[in-house]
Amino acid sequence: MAQSTQPSEQELSDQIRALETQVRQLQTTQQNLDSAAVDDTVERVLHDADRRSKLMAVNGAGINWSNGKLTIQSDTGDFLLHPWMQFQFRLAVNALDTSDDYSVENGFEVRRLKFGVDGNAFSPKLTYAFIWATSRNGGGVSLEEAWARYAITKEWSVLGGQFKGPFAHESIVSSKRLLAADRTIGDDYFTGGDDFVQGVAAIYSVDQWRALGSLHDGARNNFNQDFQDFPTNNATWGAAGRVEYKFMGDWKNYDDFTALSTKNDLLVVGAAADYTEAGDTTFLLHTIDAQYENGQGLGIYGAFIGRYTKNGPVSPTTPTGAVNDLYDFSFVAQCAYLFENNWEPFVRYDLLNLDQDGLAAGSENIVHTFTAGVNYYMQGHDSKFTLDFMYLPNGTPVSDEGADILTNNGNTEFVFRAQYQLLL
């Protein structure tokens, strides 16, 4: 039997070195494969992150948060959407002097819950706003504003839809930026508060002055209505115009009644008129107002509103039974002073004078309202607390429940309000 040949020591050493070389080659190949896989994974993650970041850009297109506003916009700025919400929660106490004792009504209410969107579409020249509000009684949702505005030139623009009528400055100022918890009884009586109308308008604006004229369906709470005339709806047609002249200051500070953000002294004077027909009855409203603010915290405002009614009654739903020519008017003067950008005490006096021929016999026709209060601004108007107290020495023959004022003809009335506002 032949004897097998054993490998020499040198051959064994060569085989070991060859195996080591193969192992090193395999390790290198595996490392290259792992590195390529990692690089590929990293590349895909970075690409996905870049794609997602374009949806959440800080500047330019996407979802942005700036100056307390959330906006969604295109990279060119031609499309912009700004959603927002307003919340006002109030404690109200009303005490009426009766023949025997005081009758007290008190409780909490969501005075306002509004939500809306505004922005521009297709071009910064085409702006829009859509606003809804819930009812404080029942919570039903209704449309307040829905309009589009196009800037033809830098000075001229046109507006159409449902919007605030160009009449009383107190109505035009948003409920987000009022001085007291609510508007005066005179403004609410003549305009319904926000004074919404349906129609079209032309606007002219330059640095020192601006003017707005509109053709609408009538300024007697005649909104959220179809095309039909009086008496199906509250009015037949109307027209209004307002002119404002700025002696000094910035227009943006004219949007509220506080010197909260006022750096330069402001003085603006405005005047307006509105003509509305409702069947055989016509209404001519007119107003003049002035507002002053300075950089030290002082804010002053005054206004007069008058209304001539031909062939009354005042309201088609509550006629007096007689047809008369009436003249009613109101006046308001208010003053506030801001301390350290937080605390703002204020006082206000308003007078409502109702034509006696438009009231039931024996009704008190002059309504005096004295108001004193304080605002505390935690984050400007976005988060603020308002506390105020109203005194009506002669009561009122007409109610203003939005302001928590109840009918109390000829007798003393006290109203206390504590309100918190949150804007998002």
Structural domain of 168: 86-113+131-423
Asked if the structure places residue 122 within a domain, the reply is no
Domain tally, the chain = 1
For residues 413 and 103, what is the distance between their CA atoms, to the nearest angstrom?
10
At 7 the pLDDT is 66
Q: Does 298 fall in a domain?
A: yes
Determine the Cα–Cα distance for residues 411 and 406; give it in Å rounded to an integer: 11
Of 183, 152, 153, nearest in space to 169 by CA? 183
Does residue 249 lie in a domain region?
A: yes
Structural domain contains residue 315: yes
**3-state SS, residue 55:** helix
CA atoms within 13 A on the CB side of 391: 7
SS3 228: coil
pTM: 0.82
Per residue of the chain (424 residues), what is the pLDDT tens digit? 444 456 677 777 777 777 778 777 777 766 665 665 656 665 675 666 555 555 454 455 688 887 778 999 999 999 999 999 999 999 999 999 887 778 999 999 999 999 999 999 999 999 999 999 999 998 899 999 999 999 999 999 999 999 999 999 999 999 999 999 999 999 999 998 889 999 999 999 999 999 999 999 998 777 788 888 888 888 899 999 999 999 999 999 999 999 999 999 999 999 999 999 988 899 999 999 999 999 999 999 999 999 999 987 644 445 455 567 999 999 999 999 999 989 999 999 999 999 988 888 888 999 999 999 999 999 999 999 999 999 999 999 999 999 999 999 889 999 999 999 999 9
**CA dist 201 to 132, 158, 211, 223, Å?**
21, 6, 10, 15
Asked whether residue 284 is assigned to any structural domain, the reply reads: yes
User: Could you tell me if 405 and 399 are in contact, meaning their C-beta atoms sit under 8 angstroms apart?
Assistant: yes
In 3-state terms the chain splits into helix, strand, coil percentages (rounded to 5) of 15, 50, 30
The SS3 of residue 420 is: strand
- Under 8 Å between Cβ of 257 and 178: yes
Query: How far apart are alpha carbons 87 and 70 in whole angstroms?
Result: 17
H or E element, residue 114: strand 102-121
Strand 383-392 to strand 395-396: parallel, antiparallel, or no bridges (unpaired)? Answer: unpaired
pLDDT of residue 58: 47
Task: For residue 192, give the CATH number of its domain.
Answer: 2.40.160.10
Q: Residue 317 — left, alpha, or beta (φ > 0 → left; ψ -120 to 50 → alpha)?
A: alpha
Contact 225, 237 (CB under 8 A): no
| Spatial separation of the C-alpha atoms in residues 375 and 344, rounded to whole Å | 5
Length of the chain: 424
From the list 164, 171, 281, 173, the residue with the least C-alpha distance to 216 is 164
Identify whether 203 is part of a domain.
yes
Q: Within a domain: residue 322?
A: yes
Q: Which two tokens stand for residue 150?
A: 């196009």
- Are 387 and 373 within 8 A, CB to CB? yes
Is 74 inside any structural domain?
no
How many angstroms separate the Cα of 278 from the Cα of each of 8, 221, 234, 310? 123, 12, 7, 10
The CA distance from 62 to 45, in Å, is 20
| Sign for the pseudo-dihedral over CA of 155, 156, 158, 163 | positive
Distance CA 150, CA 171 (A): 23
